[in-house]
Amino acid sequence: MAKTEPGENAGPGEQAAEAIPADIAAMSFEAALKALDEIVARLESGRVDLEESIALYGRGALLKRHCETKLKAAEEKIEKIVIGGDGQASTQPFKAG
């Protein structure tokens, strides 16, 4: 499979996606969510200067994207159990929504 550059397949109106830094990529979903919550709390406090706010916002966006990727991967692993017309149980891929 060919390696693509971030944003290479971005559609109209989409900005090139920034690569996830190694420290974020190594985080579990729970750790990334906690870090994101801490950033939100700092930004909402209003006690952060503009430059730091911009940096925090950027990191928060990367953490959010990492969490979304982790959730999507988990959804792809989940199967739902269904009972067919013949009464037999089987599994199907889970589809959110």
Domain CATH for 50 = 1.10.287
30-84: per-residue pLDDT in tens? 999 999 999 999 999 999 999 999 999 999 999 999 999 999 888 888 877 777 7
CA atoms within 13 A on the CB side of 64: 11
Whether 88 is in a domain gets the answer yes
Tell the residue number behind the tokens 């269904």, with chain if given.
82
Residue 1 has pLDDT above 90, yes or no: no
What average pLDDT does the segment 2-30 reach? 67
Whether 17 is in a domain gets the answer no
Domain count, the chain: 1
Is residue 63 within 8 A of residue 35, CB to CB? The reply is: yes
Whether 59 is in a domain gets the answer yes
Rounded distance, CA 40 to CA 88, Å?
48
Whether 10 is in a domain gets the answer no
Residue 26 has pLDDT above 80, yes or no: yes
76: Cα separation from own chain's centroid: 14
Whether 33 is in a domain gets the answer yes
Domain that holds residue 74: 22-93
Percent of the chain past pLDDT 70, that is, above it, reads 81
